[in-house]
Each structure stands twice: as structure tokens, then as C-alpha cells.
């Protein structure tokens, strides 16, 4: 098989790693090596950060008006839309995500660039109502500097768009570090950013492993903010690294999101929502509805219907449009899924369907799996699997559903299925999570903030809030009095 060769983007130039080292990317559906990428180490990271820093300080970027930055983002959105097919196919080959998901996700991606293009020249400070008659005060929002974007393998383009669009809109510059398992589309995005007219160094993409590349990037003294999406263990390293450079942090981590089905729910809709919640992207989504809490009087009917639908899921080649579930993105992720299912069975969970590798010759495929748990304390109810494994449990009433939903170290998302508006509102108020979906699941929008409570992270991406994440406030004081300054030792 012909291997595609990739280079990194630093300061507008396409280059190899200084060491000359490379690493391989494997297509999860075929287990064939298809691409070779530069293995960046601390030296390459330093070049990339310095290039982003120089771009940040340059007159070309510093003096560019906010509306002009908005125009560049709009152009980038247009280019992403025009290259939708190519980007979707590349992402599918790199991480095994279904082509029909990547087409949908990439098709919507321009909206994120347009949203922040529109906001770029609306980032405003405030005049202050000071309690001092001779002083006039106002605030301005200013960019932070170099932003490090650490991107995981599950949805690289989407998770990058929601970081770079607000970061660039507000005048920062960026160094991106994709996962070593899914680097290709971010390099392609870098190409489109140059074509859109972003100056050299405004967006850099370096490829490599968490160690040494991600580590060197997140501790680099010139990095002013780290926007991280990934697992909790890597997040701990990143938090520690930010103690070196005092970088601002936003963390979008995992979850064990409850999808709660009440007895008055529209069952057809709830079954579809549960399937989309856990089996879309083969469960490799931070917002997966991986804990299914089902009211006891509809429990058996619901689980039976869910099982029937899960058994009809077409598992196979992600590049085929009729396929409904693709492979695990990495061999190690497949091993993690197998381990969690073993633990669940050992703890007494009852297997309704799945629980094994899919019968496909090559590729890291696992069957859609449903396990009935006995207690919310079971490992499968508490730990994130990041695979197509639904943990199902019955509940008696609203109070028990809420208690179980909140009995988790995570708090990223929750789903509520009911026709009763008052009940929905009571649940919304009680649930501790950053996102609540009612009678729907996994909807996203450029204008809707995403982020977690508890160990699901902190900071928000998307929406207007994200502008605050990528800016800092400068407070300005102006003396409007013609009188000489008073005694300097008096603080007034």
C-alpha cells in the first residue's frame, strides 16, 4: 500500500521534524499503515511556538482590524465547505469515523467559522461607572498571545474548529497538536488557513506524540493559554505543565452521561435518542449517553426495543454510506472496551447483546453492546469506556433518577426523555452537568456553550462565552481633572 507523506506547518512553511523522525498512522478499518507524519520533539515545538509568537507581535497581525480577521475566518469557513468531501474522507481514513458522520460534521463546520467571523468585531469593553468624579474608566478585551490547542483523535476537525475560530477571531495565534492517531485533517485545515490569507505563523500545526510533543508545547514559556480536549490522565499532566508557564486553561474531558427515560416519554423517540447517544461514533464521543436510566414500569419494553435496534446496527467499513457503526479508532481503545466489558460481567452485569469483537476480517470493530447493571456503583456505571457499550439500569421515580444521575465524578451532559414539561424543568434544575438535552441528544451549535461540571473539565467552548476564554481584560483609568495630582500616598 502506498504511504502518504505529510509535513508540518510552521511559520507558513511545510517542513519535516528536525530529527528527521516520523511516525505512522494506521487506518482502523483495515489495520494498514496509510500515512507517515513528522515526529515533532521539543525543538520543533519551540520553533512552532516562536513562529506563533512572532506572528502575534507582527504589525501585520497586531494592526489587522477585527473585521478583517472576521473576513479571513469567513473565507476559511467557505474553503472548509468547498473541501467538505476531501476532509470528510481523510478524517474517516485516519480515525475510522463513519463517512456519513464526518460528512455531516464537516458539512456543518463552516458555521463555527462564520459565527466567530461575525463576532470578531463585536468584542467590546465597557465604560465603568466609577465612584470617583474626576476619573473616567473603561475596559478593553485583548488577546492572550500564543494558544496551544491539544486535540484528541475522535473528532479532530470539529474539536479544532471550536478552538481556533474564537482564538483567531480575538487576535491570538495558535499552535495545534493533533493526536498521533488523527493528524491528517488538521494539516489540511492548516493549508486552507494559508489559502484563506491568514499570515504565516498565525496558525501552526505540529504532529507528534503526547510525550515529547504535547508535553513540550503545554509547558512552553511563550504559551499563554492551553485549550485541551482529551482524557483525564493527560489533563492532569497538562494542568501540572501550566504551573510552569501560568497559562490559562480550558479542559474538555470525558463523561459518563446519564440518558434518563421516563415512563411518559415518546418511546420511539427515546429509543432513537438512546441509540444515537451511545452507538453514534461507536461510543467514542465525550458526550456519549453511556448510562441509560430507565423508569421501572417501561424498563423491559424499552430495553427489548433498544436491543432489537442495536442488533440491526450495520457495523463495517466506515467509508460506505450505509454503514451505521465503524471501528474503534485505535487498537488500545478496542482493548479498553474489552476490558470494561469483562469487568462488568465479573461484577454481575447481564449481557443483553454484543459483548464481543465484530465478526469482520480486519479492523478494530466491536459489536454494539448492552449490559444491564445492578447498581450505580458498578464500574460500568462510573467509568468512561469510550466505546459502544450501554450500561442500563432501572429507576423507581424522579428522585431516584436524579440521585443516580448526579452520583458521578463527571458532569458533561445529560438527556431527559419525558412529555411532562414540569418534570423536565425540575430535572434540568437538579442535574449537575454542563449540557442538558430534553427529548433530543447530541445536538451541537456554534452558539451553544459546551463544557463540563466536576471532572469533565472547566471552561466553555462555543458560544459568546468562548470569546472571554480567549481574551483578557485591560482596565483603563483617565484623570479628567485639571488640578494637580493629590498627595500620592493617599489611595483614593
Do the Cβ atoms of 169 and 144 come closer than 8 Å? no
Interface residue with ligand NDP, options 154, 160, 185, 250 (CB under 6 A): 154
Which residue matches cell numbers 424522579?
A: 398
Min dist. Cβ of residue 265 to ligand NDP (A) = 27
Q: Give the span between the Cα atoms of 341 and 356, in whole angstroms.
A: 9
Do the Cβ atoms of 157 and 189 come closer than 8 Å? yes
Q: Where do the DSSP E strands lie in 123-257? A: 127-128, 135-143, 146-150, 173-177, 203-205, 223-229, 248-252
Which residue matches cell numbers 499503515?
A: 33
The contact pattern for ligand NDP, residues 104-143, with x = CB under 6 A and - = no contact, is ----------------------------------------
152 vs 258, beta carbon nearer ligand NDP: 152
Where do the H-state alpha helices sit in 257-411?
Answer: 267-279, 296-311, 331-346, 379-382, 398-406
Which residue matches cell numbers 493526536?
A: 179
170 vs 284, beta carbon nearer ligand NDP: 284
Interface residue with ligand NDP, options 28, 201, 214, 463 (CB under 6 A): 214
The contact pattern for ligand NDP, residues 450-479, with x = CB under 6 A and - = no contact, is ------------------------------
302 vs 386, beta carbon nearer ligand NDP: 386
For the purposes of burial, counting CB atoms within 10 Å of the CB of 54, is it exposed (0-12), middle (13-18) or buried (19 or more)?
A: middle
Asked if 260 touches ligand NDP (CB under 6 A), the answer is no
151 vs 265, beta carbon nearer ligand NDP: 151
Min dist. Cβ of residue 97 to ligand NDP (A) = 12
- Output the nine-digit C-alpha cell for 6: 505529510
Q: Which of 91, 111, 252, 469 is catalytic?
A: 252
The contact pattern for ligand NDP, residues 340-379, with x = CB under 6 A and - = no contact, is ----------------------------------------
Asked if 150 touches ligand NDP (CB under 6 A), the answer is yes
Min dist. Cβ of residue 420 to ligand NDP (A) = 32
Task: Write 227-230 long-range contacts (CB < 8 A, 24+).
Answer: 227/147, 227/148, 227/149, 227/150, 227/163, 227/167, 227/459, 227/461, 227/469, 228/150, 228/252, 229/150, 229/151, 229/152, 229/159, 229/253, 229/286, 230/150, 230/151, 230/152, 230/179
Express the helix, strand and coil content of the chain in percent, nearest 5 each: 40, 20, 35
The contact pattern for ligand NDP, residues 55-94, with x = CB under 6 A and - = no contact, is ----------------------------------------
152 vs 394, beta carbon nearer ligand NDP: 152
Interface residue with ligand NDP, options 118, 199, 231, 430 (CB under 6 A): 231
Do the Cβ atoms of 72 and 113 come closer than 8 Å? no
Interface residue with ligand NDP, options 252, 317, 324, 372 (CB under 6 A): 252
The interface region with ligand NDP, picked from 208-216, 262-270, 315-323, 397-405 by CB under 6 A, is 208-216
Asked if 326 touches ligand NDP (CB under 6 A), the answer is no
31 vs 85, beta carbon nearer ligand NDP: 31
| Closest among 64, 198, 91 to 153, alpha carbons compared | 91
The H or E element that residue 423 is part of is: helix 421-430
Min dist. Cβ of residue 156 to ligand NDP (A) = 9
Residues in the chain: 492
Interface residue with ligand NDP, options 72, 206, 238, 276 (CB under 6 A): 238
Residues 384-423 that bind ligand NDP (CB under 6 A): 384, 386
Do the Cβ atoms of 321 and 85 come closer than 8 Å? no
| Closest among 397, 58, 417 to 259, alpha carbons compared | 417
Residue 283: phi and psi, rounded to 5, are 75, 5
Residue 180: phi and psi, rounded to 5, are -65, -15
Interface residue with ligand NDP, options 229, 245, 250, 259 (CB under 6 A): 229
Q: Give the span between the Cα atoms of 211 and 179, in whole angstroms.
A: 11
Asked if 253 touches ligand NDP (CB under 6 A), the answer is yes
Asked if 254 touches ligand NDP (CB under 6 A), the answer is yes
Min dist. Cβ of residue 457 to ligand NDP (A) = 8
Residue 414 φ/ψ region, left for φ over 0, alpha for ψ in the -120 to 50 degree band, beta for the rest: beta
Q: Does the active-site annotation cover 252?
A: yes
Do the Cβ atoms of 375 and 381 come closer than 8 Å? yes
Interface residue with ligand NDP, options 77, 166, 230, 355 (CB under 6 A): 230
The contact pattern for ligand NDP, residues 175-194, with x = CB under 6 A and - = no contact, is --x-xxx-------------
Q: How many residues bind ligand NDP (CB under 6 A)?
A: 28
Min dist. Cβ of residue 15 to ligand NDP (A) = 19
> In a 3-state reduction of DSSP, which class is residue 415?
strand
Positions marked catalytic: 252
Q: Which residues bind ligand NDP (CB under 6 A)?
A: 150-154, 177, 179-181, 209-211, 214-215, 218, 229-231, 234, 237-238, 252-254, 286, 336, 384, 386
Amino acid at each position: 500500500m502506498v504511504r502518504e507523506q505529510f509535513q508540518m506547518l510552521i511559520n507558513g512553511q511545510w517542513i519535516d521534524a528536525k530529527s528527521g523522525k516520523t511516525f505512522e498512522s494506521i487506518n482502523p478499518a483495515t489495520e494498514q499503515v496509510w500515512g507517515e507524519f513528522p515526529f515533532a520533539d521539543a525543538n520543533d515545538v519551540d520553533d512552532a511556538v516562536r513562529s506563533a509568537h512572532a506572528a502575534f507581535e507582527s504589525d501585520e497581525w497586531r494592526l489587522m482590524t477585527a473585521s478583517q480577521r472576521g473576513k479571513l475566518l469567513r473565507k476559511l469557513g467557505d474553503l472548509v465547505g468547498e473541501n467538505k468531501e476531501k476532509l470528510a474522507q481523510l478524517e474517516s481514513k485516519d480515525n475510522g469515523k463513519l463517512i456519513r458522520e464526518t460528512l455531516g460534521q464537516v458539512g456543518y463546520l463552516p458555521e463555527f467559522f462564520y459565527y466567530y467571523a461575525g463576532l470578531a468585531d463585536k468584542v467590546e469593553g465597557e465604560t465603568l461607572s466609577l465612584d470617583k468624579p474626576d476619573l473616567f474608566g473603561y475596559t478593553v478585551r485583548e488577546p492572550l498571545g500564543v494558544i496551544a490547542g491539544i486535540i484528541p483523535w475522535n473528532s479532530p476537525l470539529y474539536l479544532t474548529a471550536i478552538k481556533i475560530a474564537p482564538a483567531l477571531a480575538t487576535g491570538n495565534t495558535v499552535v495545534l497538536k493533533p493526536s498521533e492517531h488523527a493528524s491528517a485533517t488538521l494539516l489540511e485545515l492548516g493549508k486552507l488557513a494559508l489559502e484563506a490569507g491568514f499570515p504565516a505563523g498565525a496558525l501552526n500545526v505540529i504532529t507528534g506524540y503526547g510525550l515529547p510533543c504535547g508535553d513540550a508545547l503545554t509547558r512552553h514559556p511563550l504559551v499563554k493559554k492551553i485549550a485541551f480536549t482529551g482524557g483525564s490522565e493527560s489533563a492532569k499532566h497538562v494542568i501540572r505543565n501550566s504551573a510552569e508557564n501560568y497559562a490559562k486553561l480550558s479542559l474538555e474531558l470525558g463523561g459518563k452521561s446519564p440518558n434518563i427515560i421516563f415512563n411518559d416519554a415518546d418511546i420511539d423517540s427515546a429509543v432513537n435518542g438512546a441509540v444515537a447517544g451511545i452507538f453514534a461514533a461507536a461510543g467514542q464521543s465525550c458526550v456519549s449517553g453511556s448510562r441509560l436510566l430507565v423508569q421501572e414500569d417501561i424498563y423491559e419494553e424499552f430495553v427489548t426495543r433498544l436491543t432489537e435496534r442495536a442488533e440491526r446496527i450495520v457495523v463495517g467499513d466506515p467509508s460506505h454510506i450505509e454503514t451505521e457503526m465503524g471501528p474503534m479508532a485505535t487498537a488500545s481503545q478496542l482493548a479498553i472496551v474489552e476490558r470494561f466489558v469483562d469487568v462488568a460481567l465479573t461484577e454481575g452485569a447481564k449481557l443483553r447483546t454484543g459483548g464481543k469483537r465484530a465478526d469482520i476480517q480486519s479492523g478494530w470493530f466491536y459489536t454494539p453492546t448492552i449490559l444491564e447493571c445492578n447498581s450505580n456503583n458498578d464500574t460500568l456505571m462510573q467509568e468512561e469506556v469510550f466505546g459502544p457499550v450501554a450500561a442500563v439500569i432501572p429507576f423507581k421515580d424522579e428522585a431516584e433518577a436524579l440521585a443516580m444521575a448526579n452520583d458521578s465524578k463527571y458532569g458533561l451532559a445529560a438527556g431527559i426523555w419525558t412529555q411532562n414539561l414540569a418534570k423536565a424543568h425540575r430535572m434540568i434544575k437538579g442535574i449537575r452537568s454542563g449540557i442538558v438535552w430534553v427529548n433530543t441528544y447530541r445536538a451541537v451549535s456554534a452558539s451553544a456553550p459546551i463544557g463540563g461540571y466536576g471532572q469533565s473539565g472547566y471552561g466553555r467552548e462555543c458560544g459568546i462565552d468562548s470569546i472571554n476564554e480567549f481574551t483578557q481584560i485591560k482596565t483603563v483609568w483617565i484623570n479628567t481633572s485639571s488640578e494637580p495630582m493629590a498627595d500620592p500616598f493617599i489611595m483614593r
